[in-house]
Amino acid sequence: MITSINKRSYPNTLIVILAQDNGKSEFEEKDDVTRITDEEGNLIGFNFFNVEQLIDYDKLPDGQVRLTDKELAALNDKIAAAGFNDKLAYGRPTLVYGYVKTCDPHPDSDHLHVTTVDVGNEEHQIVCGAPNIAQGQKVVVALPGTLMPNGQQIWPGSLRGVDSYGMICSARELGLKHAPQKRGIMVVPDNFATGGEFEPTKCDELLASGDITL
C-alpha cells in the first residue's frame, strides 16, 4: 500500500494506491471518499478529500507518508461511514535488503541480467541493467508497491520478454545525499540482514565514509 500527498497539485487530499492500474479505471465517490477499481472490478486505490478532517494534514510532508495506527484507523472509519466494505492495512516493508543468489545474462540483451534475489521470506526474479550486478551481493530491493523518491512506482513487469518482480536499487534511485554520480546498484555490507527494512540514514553514512562505494 502506497499512501502519498501532493500538496501543490492535490491539496488536502490523501492518495492511497493498492495495486497497479493497467487499464481503464472506474470511480465511485461517497462523502469525500473515492473508491477506484480497474476494468475488472478489482480495488486499486482510494482518494480521501478534505483529509484534514481525519488526520493532521499540515504536519505531513509531500510525497510518500507512513500513517500512524490512529491515522489509519481514522481512514478505515471514514471508508465504513461512506458505505464501503474495504479496509486498509499496511503490509511488510517494500524497500528491503536482498541477497543475489543467481545472476545470469539476459537471453535477449547484451547488458541486462536476470537475477534471483532472496528477500528474507521469499525469492524473486528481478531483471537488472546495472553494470556492477553480481551473484553473492547484498543489495537494496524495491518490491512491488514501492514509491521511489522520484515518484516512480514499482510494480511487476517484464524487460525484453523476461518477468521482473521489483527493482534492485542504486543510491541515486534511493535519493541518498552522498550517492555516487555514476551508474551502478548500491552494494551493502554482508552483515546486513536479508529481508531487513532499508535504513536510509545508515546507508548514507556508510556512503559518506566510503564503506559503501556504489
Q: Note the pLDDT of residue 154.
A: 94
Query: If we measure between CA atoms, which residue out of 149, 145, 141 comes closest to residue 124?
Result: 141
Q: 213 falls in which pLDDT band (50, 70, 90)?
A: confident
H runs (alpha helix) in 39-123:
69-81
CATH, range 95-209: 2.40.50.140
Say whether pLDDT at 155 is over 90.
Answer: yes
Equal fold, 2-81 vs 95-209: no
Domain ranges of the chain: 2-81, 95-209
Q: 214 falls in which pLDDT band (50, 70, 90)?
A: confident
Residue reference for cell 486505490: 45
Q: Note the pLDDT of residue 194.
A: 97
Q: For residue range 85-138, what is the model confidence (pLDDT) as tens digits?
A: 999 998 889 999 999 999 999 999 989 999 999 999 899 999 999 999 999 999
Topology of domain 2-81, CATH: Nucleic acid-binding protein fold (3.30.1940)
Say whether pLDDT at 23 is over 80.
Answer: no
Q: Note the pLDDT of residue 24.
A: 86
